[in-house]
Amino acid sequence: MSDPFGDEPRSRPGQQPEHQIGQDLSTLSLHELDERIALLHAEIARLEQTRAGKTASREAAASVFKL
């Protein structure tokens, strides 16, 4: 039986949902939307951490080569 309210997840347990920027969100359940939000928050944190590391490396290199 299908879920008429779209609240049941369609992904398999343990499988991370895949999200594509700009995809149609109208077909996703509330649970799937929550999963996507959590996935994107984690990805943003990963991007910010990588960016901070690269910024620190660039600043360290710039300080070595300053006259």
**How far, CA to CA in Å, does 29 sit from each of 1, 26, 32?**
16, 8, 5
Sign of CA dihedral 7, 10, 15, 21: negative
Classify residue 32: in a domain, yes or no.
yes
Helices (H), 12-64: 30-64
- pLDDT of 14 higher than 90: no
Classify residue 14: in a domain, yes or no.
no
Q: What is the pTM of this model?
A: 0.64
Q: Which domain holds residue 48?
A: 28-54
Q: What is the mean pLDDT of residues 2-21?
A: 66
Q: What is the mean pLDDT of residues 9-16?
A: 60
Classify residue 62: in a domain, yes or no.
no
Do the beta carbons of residue 36 and residue 19 sit within 8 Å?
Answer: yes
At residue 32, the 3 state secondary structure works out as: helix
pLDDT at position 11 is 56
pLDDT tens-digit readout, 15-50: 666 888 999 999 999 999 999 999 999 999 999 999
